[in-house]
A and B are shown apart, each in its own frame.
Chain A
Amino acid sequence: MTTFIFILKKEFRQIFRDPAIIRIIFIMPMMQLIILPFAADYEVKNINIGIVDHDHSDYSRELISKIENSTYFRLTGYTNTFKEGLKWVEDEKADLIVEIPNRFEAELIKESKADLLLAVNAVNGTRGNLGAAYTLGIIQQFNQNIRAKWFQMPDFNPEPIIDVTYSSLYNPLSNYQFFMVPGILAVLLTMVGGFLSALNIVKEKEIGTIEQLNVSPIKKYQFIGGKVVPFWLLGFVILTIGLIISFIVHGIVPGSNIGVLYLFTAIYMLAILGFGLLLSNFTNTQQQAMMVAFFFMLIFILLSGLYTPIESMPGWAQKVAALNPVTYMVEVMRMVLMKGAILRDILPQLKIITLYGVVLNLLAIYTYSKQNS
């Protein structure tokens, strides 16, 4: 035990002596946590709309003002030619174009039917799709108003109506930042833990000090333990600072069940550090370790459900996501911070991540070889 304490002292000293590492551990993640939620806003808003009005009638003006008054849209401008409208789309000035044909009002009144053309920039599929859906909604509303004007609806509604009421839980303000912040915090823990541990053993290999340890009576578990514990404790520091920033900058109030989050993070950090050390055992240079770690981190993070919902993935990718420890951290972080989940709610995730922690660290100890054959 005393030996282990000396090993820990050494690891801590080395971490705190390197200003570059300190900067990585504290400043960079915090900057990300402050800035990224503002940047990572997938809410489709401020759709730029261009209008090609050939009709110049009362109706066309009424429709345009309806669109203008909607909160979703930002008007790019009016034009008389569809060609200019297309130019706007090409230059990314407009996301979609509404073309009101000549005789729009006249046909609607006379033929009881009129056409409208919607041209959507679909390079970004999601944005295009939702933009079109919003526009359709507004046009339908406009349509109903016209109908109401021309066709006196009787008091008794012949159309049966199913009234749908909504209640949205956990994020009453529908604030997208509230959704992103916990996820980003989970990713930060992953990146700091994963990179630092992956680079750590390999650095001792590069400078040659590992030989000195290998000829000493150090036990494998002492060596790996000495590498794990300091970064593990740093995980708590990062989590705490992260929660404080989330509170101050983004207004996320951690509930009374925050202990659950610390418990889960404690086990999760063990798993991630074990993984990093495992990589470190299999690489020979820091450059190599960094590239390999980067590769895995990227895949883990993309498949974690941070940016895109896991349900939207095809079956095989869902299976991969289920094997991905980051998935569980993102999930639990959101469950605890947003939904106020209690220990019982996160038990399934806790079991899986415990298994990961044990297996990965045993593997890291097992594959760390004091000898080469």
Chain B
Amino acid sequence: MYFTDWQGKPKEAIIKLAMEQLLAFVRKEVYHILRDRKTLLVLFGLPIAQILLFGFALSNEVKNTKIFMCDLAKDNFSFQLTEKVHASKYFNVVGSIDIPNEADEVLRKGSAHLVMVIPADFSTKLSHSNSASIQLITDGTNPNLASTIQLYLRNIINDFRNQVFEKIELPYTIEVKSRMLYNPQLKGAYTFVPGVMAMVLMIICTLMTSVSIVKEKELGNMEMLLVSPMNPLIVIFSKAIPYLALSLFIVTVILGLSVTLLEVPIRGNIFLLYGVCLIFIIASLALGLVISSITNSQQVAMMISLMGMMLPTIMFGGFMFPIENMPIPLQVISNIVPAKWFYYAISGIMIKGMGIKSVLKEISILLVYGTVFIIISYRNFKIRLE
């Protein structure tokens, strides 16, 4: 039965043979990957550690900011105010100084971010002339942090005033109703999960692939493969397929952790999500192949992948640093980084629940990148053969 088929349709048989060759090579690659336990551990540990860190450790939220008090009044009012500041989740009163001049040393050593000076006449002025003053001396090294904690402290001081003196109901009030779209609890996870995906996929697909191919070149195995009667396409595919599978698996791990641990929803279509991932993975793999075709040294391949590809991904991907704040030339450069488009598409689908129509532009750009990289790498390998 099989035999007659083979004679009748030789084309199919050739494809079958090619598939078998491909399978044999893929198996060999899988063994290589599974054998290096330390690297495998890092490949899985990296996304998990990142998810944990970004999810539970890192935030730009201001809390527990260290404050020193310089309470020159030392009376009921000033104690109340100190108490109120300390009770807020934003601040911790960690010490006090006796004269304002000591503020510089406290801030310079980093013992506190802010020194609050309550003048000696605070209470008397407040109750008699209805106007008192407070001085805030801030460590301005991080201007964002400085202005945010000033804002929060002003609010606390206003609250304190309202508590002490009953607030008067004011006429002509505009009431503002705010709605936080997509992320009502303002979780940082919403921004970084797609970012972690972009970064990890770059590492596995581009860095690992390029280094492992160059390693075969260094050891001289590549020539052996290329002089074999194998189609170079099969050699290339067999290198790429295990990493593709590994990448999809790790994407699933990241999504699983995000949904269960960080409670990040997947609002859009999951197939669309995986589709976009697949396109990005293929583009990154092809990029890895391109890199491996232009160098013969592992260290150089590493450095090109790491410095030339990973860094732009982190810098211009849009998840670590806000692109809209960058100078115009850098904003223009950011457009050539594939990870940026991947990030937009993934965060659109995942967080905003956008459909395929809304991310069509991003998908097309990624497809163009993938195609271009594949063509370049195929050409380079062909040239090497001839």
A and B: direct contact (Cβ < 8 Å)?
yes
Also in contact, A126 and B188, with CB within 8 A (given A21-B299, A147-B170, A166-B150): yes
Contact status A290-B133, CB under 8 Å: no
Query: How many whole Å from A288's CB to the nearest CB in chain B?
Result: 5
B38: contacting residue among A168, A283, A299, CB under 8 A? A283
Contact status A295-B172, CB under 8 Å: no
Also in contact, A167 and B62, with CB within 8 A (given A112-B173, A116-B174): no
Closest to B325 in A: A41
Also in contact, A166 and B136, with CB within 8 A (given A159-B168, A298-B46): yes
Contact status A115-B141, CB under 8 Å: no
Measured between alpha carbons, how far is A313 from B65 in the docked complex, in Å?
11
Which residues of B have CB within 8 Å of A287? 36, 39, 208, 211-212, 215, 298, 302
Encode B159-183 as 1/0 by CB contact (under 8 A) with A: 0110011001011111111111111
B-side interface size class: 35 or more
Contact status B211-A295, CB under 8 Å: no
Encode A155-171 as 1/0 by CB contact (under 8 A) with B: 00111111111111111
Contact status A307-B320, CB under 8 Å: yes
Of residues 50 through 74 on chain A, the ones whose CB sits less than 8 Å from some CB of chain B are none
Also in contact, A122 and B53, with CB within 8 A (given A90-B354, A162-B161, A165-B136): no
**A294 interfacial contact with B, CB 8 Å:** yes
Contact status A136-B307, CB under 8 Å: no
Measured between alpha carbons, how far is A201 from B132 in the docked complex, in Å?
66
Closest to B184 in A: A122
Give the segment of B106-114, B226-234, B276-284 that binds chain A.
B106-114
B108: contacting residue among A120, A159, A160, A339, CB under 8 A? A339
**A79 interfacial contact with B, CB 8 Å:** no
**A230 interfacial contact with B, CB 8 Å:** no
A164: contacting residue among B134, B191, B348, CB under 8 A? B134
**B321 interfacial contact with A, CB 8 Å:** yes
Contact status A126-B138, CB under 8 Å: no
Contact status B46-A317, CB under 8 Å: no
Closest to B183 in A: A122
Encode B297-324 as 1/0 by CB contact (under 8 A) with A: 1111011001100010001100011101
Contact status A335-B175, CB under 8 Å: no
Query: How many whole Å from A153's CB to the nearest CB in chain B?
Result: 11
A167: contacting residue among B38, B136, B173, B352, CB under 8 A? B136
**B57 interfacial contact with A, CB 8 Å:** yes
Contact status B133-A162, CB under 8 Å: yes
**A175 interfacial contact with B, CB 8 Å:** yes
Contact status B56-A123, CB under 8 Å: no
A171: contacting residue among B140, B168, B302, CB under 8 A? B140
Contact status B140-A308, CB under 8 Å: no
Measured between alpha carbons, how far is A121 from B211 in the docked complex, in Å?
40
Residue in B109, B135, B161 whose Cβ sees the most chain A Cβ within 10 Å: B109
**A129 interfacial contact with B, CB 8 Å:** yes
A143: contacting residue among B65, B158, B173, B190, CB under 8 A? B173
Also in contact, A139 and B176, with CB within 8 A (given A46-B325, A119-B181, A311-B66): yes
Which residues of A have CB within 8 Å of B29? none
Query: How many whole Å from A187's CB to the nearest CB in chain B?
Result: 12
Of residues 325 through 364 on chain A, the ones whose CB sits less than 8 Å from some CB of chain B are 331, 334-335, 338-341, 345
Encode B350-363 as 1/0 by CB contact (under 8 A) with A: 01101000100000
**B74 interfacial contact with A, CB 8 Å:** no
Measured between alpha carbons, how far is A45 from B150 in the docked complex, in Å?
17
Contact status B179-A117, CB under 8 Å: yes
Which residues of A have CB within 8 Å of B88? none
A40: contacting residue among B110, B176, B321, B324, CB under 8 A? B321
Which residues of B have CB within 8 Å of A133? 151
**A214 interfacial contact with B, CB 8 Å:** no
Contact status A164-B56, CB under 8 Å: no
Query: How many whole Å from A198's CB to the nearest CB in chain B?
Result: 11
Query: How many whole Å from A122's CB to the nearest CB in chain B?
Result: 4
**B130 interfacial contact with A, CB 8 Å:** yes
Also in contact, A108 and B172, with CB within 8 A (given A118-B178, A286-B298): yes
A126: contacting residue among B61, B130, B132, B154, CB under 8 A? B61
Encode A253-270 as 1/0 by CB contact (under 8 A) with B: 000000000000000000
Measured between alpha carbons, how far is A32 from B330 in the docked complex, in Å?
13
**B368 interfacial contact with A, CB 8 Å:** no
Measured between alpha carbons, how far is A144 from B188 in the docked complex, in Å?
34
Closest to B319 in A: A124
Closest to A308 in B: B58
**B101 interfacial contact with A, CB 8 Å:** no
Measured between alpha carbons, how far is A112 from B201 in the docked complex, in Å?
57
Measured between alpha carbons, how far is A124 from B192 in the docked complex, in Å?
9
Which residues of B have CB within 8 Å of A171? 140-143, 146
Measured between alpha carbons, how far is A290 from B208 in the docked complex, in Å?
10
Encode B180-220 as 1/0 by CB contact (under 8 A) with A: 11111011101100000000000100001001100100000
Query: How many whole Å from A146's CB to the nearest CB in chain B?
Result: 5
Measured between alpha carbons, how far is A125 from B336 in the docked complex, in Å?
26
Contact status B140-A309, CB under 8 Å: no
Contact status A90-B352, CB under 8 Å: yes
Interface pairs A-B: 9 shortest CB-CB: A168-B140, A125-B186, A317-B57, A174-B143, A122-B183, A122-B180, A171-B140, A41-B325, A163-B133
- Apart from A116-B177, A128-B180, list 17 A-B contacts with CB within 8 A: A86-B181, A117-B176, A122-B180, A122-B181, A124-B191, A146-B174, A160-B130, A165-B134, A165-B136, A166-B150, A168-B140, A168-B143, A285-B36, A291-B39, A294-B306, A339-B107, A341-B108
| 13 pairs, A vs B, C-beta closer than 8 Å | A42-B322, A42-B325, A117-B176, A139-B174, A159-B168, A164-B136, A164-B157, A169-B139, A170-B140, A171-B143, A309-B62, A312-B58, A313-B57
